[in-house]
Structure formats: C-alpha cells, structure tokens
Structure 1
Amino acid sequence: MRTEDRSLAALGLDDVPARQPLTYPGRPAPVPSLLIDDELLELDVRPQRLGEWYVEEAAQRRLDEALVDRGQAATGRRHPVIAVGSNASPGQVTYKLTRLGIPAAVPMVPVRVRGIAVGCSGHISPAGYVAGTPYVDREAETQLVVTWLDATQLKAVDDTEFPDYRRAILPGGDFEMTMPSGERLGGAYIYFSAHGVLADPVTERPRPGGGDQSELLESLLKDSPRLMDLLGPDATSWVAAAGADRRLREQGTLVFGEEGWVLPQTEFLPYADDSAQPRPYDDLPPLDDSLPPPR
C-alpha cells in the first residue's frame, strides 16, 4: 500500500513537449503504471494478464476494477499501442486527452520489443521539434512503453499523429513483445513516420532518436549550413521559429530530403492499418498460454 504523492509534478513527469519543445520526448513512464489525469499510480505486476495486476493506491484493487469503478473501459476492451516518442510521456498523454475533455485514464507499461529501434522522423513537427519514429532493426531489442487506449482515446491520439504518421499493427510472431509479467503480446499498434527516418550523414544509418532534443537540433544545424541559415543559430531559435511558422517547418523538412538524409520506411507498409477497425487487447491473445513469474 502506498500513500506518497504520486502526482506527475512530484514525480518529475509533468513535462509537456507540445508546449515545451526542447523537453521532447519527455520522460517516459518508468514502471508499469496507471495514469489518472495528473497522477501516476504504480501497478503491482502479477503473472497474469494486465487487468489482474493490482493498483498501488490507498485501497488495493485489480486494475480492471479500478478502471470500471471510474467509469472507464477495462483493459480487455482497450487497444495496446507501442509509444515511440512523447506518447510514452505521462505529461504529454494527459495534455493530449484532457484538452479535448477526454479522461486520461491510461495503463502505461514498459515492454521489451524485439526488431524495433527508435530513430528521428524526416520532418519538423508542428511544435517545432524533430520527433522520434520507429524503424525495423531485426537485431534490436528496445524497451518501449505500451499504452492501453480505449476507442475514444485512440481516435484522439490518431488525430494528433495523422497525416505525419501512419498506424501499423505489429504481430507478436514477427516482433516479440514481452510484458514484465512474462506475457508475450499477440500484437500491438505503433505509429511510424510517413516522412521516413533521418540518416546520419557519416554512417548513413538512422540517427538514434529519443535523446536530448537540443543536442539533436544543434547537430542538425552543424551538419547543414542551409538549416543554419533557415532556423539557426541554436536549438532555442529553431523551435521558436519552426513552431511559429508552418512555412519554415515545410522548408526545413525539404532541406532534410535535399541533404540526402531521409531513408524511406517501407518495412512497416505490410503492417499498415490506419483505416481498419482496431482490435482490442482481448482479441489479441498472448502467444503463450502460461505466464512465468515476473522477473
């Protein structure tokens, strides 16, 4: 039983990259948790499916009970979505949902995902930052937060991602996704950039994403005199100018391509699912019938 302050502010998780671009991607949920507006309640992982885990609050309850008691959908009717970038940040998720009057009641669970790495999208976002995007790397194993969104929440997040991102459904047989309970998910959704992924001009491999935004922007300015003229001299000037002027964002995005930095993202196309009816968690059964004890 836990009674300490679990507010996002107290936990240092209240950054909102949409409002503070240089904080992108924000701090991800560090442990399995239930986001409730401006609080993040820790989950007690059990060797069972997600809804059977317990919420660490004043009166311990199973997660499904805690959600239903708040008038929210149980986990089985929610859609698992792998968060790459700021959708793993509790502060950003709360901002995206509550500004539309949608309750921010969202389970958020770090999950080990094989075959996916995080790079940088080949465009400048409306907030002025360069956002992350997944790309396929069959040798990679990455810890990424999975959010469990109900239908209304999923539509709201879709609207913030399209048209710059598309949604794909990754089958667990192709991309192993292991929960802290040991459960292997049968599938999950993911957003990937419609603009491709930025390559490092030296290695010609995808630039690593998910790091310090200021360092990324300073590096891009250093590598391109054209970007320096357009958005320089530093990261602060970049996000101020790009966030305020769509024309500058479009010009900067064109420079990415003209510098030869953009790698196409074709590996996700067979899994693209941005128009199909999403499948909830109960329709995506775990690949393993039995779950080992949590590690």
Structure 2
Amino acid sequence: MTTEDRSLAALGLDDVPVERPLTYPGRPAPEPALLDGDELLRLDVRPLRLGGWSVADHPDRPPLDEALTALGRPVTGRRHPVVSVGSNSSPGQIAHKLTRLGIAATVPMVPLRVRGIGVGCSGHISPAGYVAGTPYIERTADSTLVVSWLESTQLRAIDGTEFPRYRRAVLPGDVFEMTMPSGERLGGAYIYFSVRGVLADADTRRPVPAGGDQSELLAGLLSRSARLRELLGPDPAGWTRRIRADEALRVRCTRILGEEGWVLPQTDFLPYADESAALWTYDDLPALDGSLPDLA
C-alpha cells in the first residue's frame, strides 16, 4: 500500500509474547492504525466516526471503511470494540493469534483514554510462562489503552485464546468514560478480565499495578517466595522455561501465588460480565453526546 516500510519488524512491533514470554506484554499500537497482516498503516484522526478517518499510508488516502471494503473485510460499524490491558494491545501478538488460525489479521487499533480502569497482574501463570495483565476497577484511574475493532470471526478467535482464564465483560460508556482521539465517547466496549483475581500487596490488599517489565515482575516474585525459587528459579528465564515444559508445575505454582497471600479475588466486573450469545457492534453504540469536536 505504501512505499515506506510499515512492516511490524521495521517498526519494532513484531514481538510475539506467547513465543517470547519475557517480552510480555509487547509494544502496544503507538498511534491510531490499521493492522493489515504484517503491516501497520497509520490513520489520520478526523472529527468523524472511525470509518471516516483516512488511511494515511495508502497512496489514495481513502476513508478507513472504503479501505476495509476494498480488502473484502467488514467495515468499522460491523465490528466489535475490544479494550485491551495486556498483549492484545500488541500488533505482533494480535497478528500471530489470528494468522496462525488462518484468519485475516486486518484490525483497526486505536489508543483511547479510559477512566475507571486500572491495570494489574493476573493471579495466575499463563501457559506461555508469563504473568499476564488484567484490568481492575479503580474509579479514579485515567489510563490510555488500546481498543481493537474485531470482526465476529476474529472476536471468537481471541475469545478462544482468553477463555477459560479470562471472561469477557461489557464496559458501559456511561460508567467508564472512553474517549477516542477524535473526541468521540464510545457508548461501550468489551474487555477481558481474569477469573483468577489480581495480584495484590499482601499488607495493603491493594492491586499491584502492572509495570510492563516481565523479567522484573518474575524476579520480584522469585525473591519473595522460597517455594517459587525452589520450583522455578533461579531467574526469569528459568521460570518461563520450566513453566512452558510442565503444565502440572504451572498449575502448582499458580496455586502458590494464592497461598502466599498475593491474590485478591476480583468480583467487581461480574455485574458487567457478558453472558449473551449475541454480540453488539459499533453501529449499535452511537456517541453519547451525538457530536464530535472540530479537529480540522
């Protein structure tokens, strides 16, 4: 589409944490963009809904919906907005998850401002060996997170990578303010939350914020638990290598996280848990105020 090299490798966005666990959570999409296979094409933000933003790295700079139609993919209004707090913010991880299943990795990805959601660490160890992120409700939090706009087939595929360790919830926009770079406030979005709770400080019982450096996180857990050091030490590389090789060991060490008193049950998302088979899309969710600011 463009003469500039916009490949994930050239942009330094090709890490796949499920294959290289110490890179978790990977680098998030740094700006509004269209992931198209192994390329990430910039989007020009306009005072319109997402489908009207232009694809800046396309020679003709078409509106996003026109570009998606030309690729034979559903337009933005028929897609499902999904907010991520972990590796699903990473274009490399999303591309890997979809393409390995033979599903087109054509996904708009947009950083947006979200109020009321903190980012912590799940109370379990993933099969890949990392301790993944999970959201928790923190009414005073103000975070920048990535929303991906998934086709129904893509959403089912991502569901399969999250369940049963995560559940999907609906964030209503009148409770959790979600603001796009255009100024549009989303009426709602999906989010995955861990069913195994969130890592917390043993004394304060407050969630430990995710720091983004997986090696540092695992080294800290090893230093605080003789039982984990015995089973997974001496270092983060040893931790991930042993976990990936032994499912029973992963289950045992996940149990140790709770026995050490580090896991806070997470029930705040249960009222928002999505139990329906029907899935709503962007077209079902008009902007709350019905208008957008003039950004031209």
Q: TM-score, normalised by structure 1?
A: 0.98
Take 2:59 and 2:241, find their aligned partners in 1: how far apart are those partners?
43
Aligned twin of 1:108 = 109
Q: Could you say what secondary structure the match of 2:17 adopts? A: coil
Aligned twin of 1:35 = 35
Map residues 181-200 of structure 1 onto 2, 5 A cutoff.
181-200=182-201
Aligned twin of 1:228 = 229
Take 2:211 and 2:87, find their aligned partners in 1: how far apart are those partners?
9
| Alpha carbons 1:25, 1:210 under 8 Å: kept | no
| Alpha carbons 2:124, 2:196 under 8 Å: kept | yes
**In the TM superposition, what is the alpha-carbon distance from 1:294 to its structure 2 partner?**
4.1
Aligned twin of 1:238 = 239
Take 1:58 and 1:225, find their aligned partners in 2: how far apart are those partners?
58
Map residues 68-87 of structure 1 onto 2, 5 A cutoff.
68-87=69-88
Q: Could you say what secondary structure the match of 2:186 adopts? A: coil
Amino acid at match of 2:40: L
Deviates more, 1:67-76 or 1:209-218: 209-218
Take 2:200 and 2:135, find their aligned partners in 1: how far apart are those partners?
13
Aligned twin of 1:6 = 6
Distance 1:198 1:187, change over 3 A: same
Take 1:231 and 1:2, find their aligned partners in 2: how far apart are those partners?
46
Q: Show structure 1 runs of 4+ deviating over 2 A.
A: 200-204
Matched, 1:174 2:188: no
Take 1:288 and 1:277, find their aligned partners in 2: how far apart are those partners?
26
Take 1:196 and 1:168, find their aligned partners in 2: how far apart are those partners?
15
Take 2:205 and 2:142, find their aligned partners in 1: how far apart are those partners?
21
Matched, 1:63 2:59: no
Take 1:224 and 1:286, find their aligned partners in 2: how far apart are those partners?
48
Distance 1:27 1:123, change over 3 A: same
Take 1:203 and 1:13, find their aligned partners in 2: how far apart are those partners?
36
Map residues 113-262 of structure 1 onto 2, 5 A cutoff.
113-262=114-263
Q: Could you say what secondary structure the match of 2:47 adopts? A: coil
**In the TM superposition, what is the alpha-carbon distance from 1:293 to its structure 2 partner?**
3.0
Q: Could you say what secondary structure the match of 2:141 adopts? A: strand
Amino acid at match of 2:21: P
After superposition, give the CA deviation of every residue in 1:69-118 in whole Å (9 maximum; x if it has no partner). Answer: 00000000000000110000000000000000000000000000000010
| Alpha carbons 2:129, 2:241 under 8 Å: kept | yes
**In the TM superposition, what is the alpha-carbon distance from 1:274 to its structure 2 partner?**
4.4
Q: Could you say what secondary structure the match of 1:15 adopts? A: coil
Q: Could you say what secondary structure the match of 1:61 adopts? A: coil
Take 2:106 and 2:81, find their aligned partners in 1: how far apart are those partners?
14
Take 2:40 and 2:169, find their aligned partners in 1: how far apart are those partners?
27
Take 2:163 and 2:293, find their aligned partners in 1: how far apart are those partners?
38
Q: Could you say what secondary structure the match of 1:134 adopts? A: strand
| Alpha carbons 1:75, 1:148 under 8 Å: kept | yes
| Alpha carbons 1:117, 1:142 under 8 Å: kept | yes
Take 1:271 and 1:138, find their aligned partners in 2: how far apart are those partners?
15
Q: RMSD value over aligned CA atoms?
A: 1.3
Amino acid at match of 1:31: E
Take 2:275 and 2:192, find their aligned partners in 1: how far apart are those partners?
9
**In the TM superposition, what is the alpha-carbon distance from 1:202 to its structure 2 partner?**
4.5
Aligned twin of 1:26 = 26
Q: Which runs of 5+ in 2 are unaligned?
A: none
| Alpha carbons 1:180, 1:294 under 8 Å: kept | no
**In the TM superposition, what is the alpha-carbon distance from 1:244 to its structure 2 partner?**
1.5
After superposition, give the CA deviation of every residue in 1:100-145 in whole Å (9 maximum; x if it has no partner). Answer: 0000000000000000010000000010100000000000000000
| Alpha carbons 2:211, 2:217 under 8 Å: kept | no
Amino acid at match of 1:71: G
Amino acid at match of 2:35: L
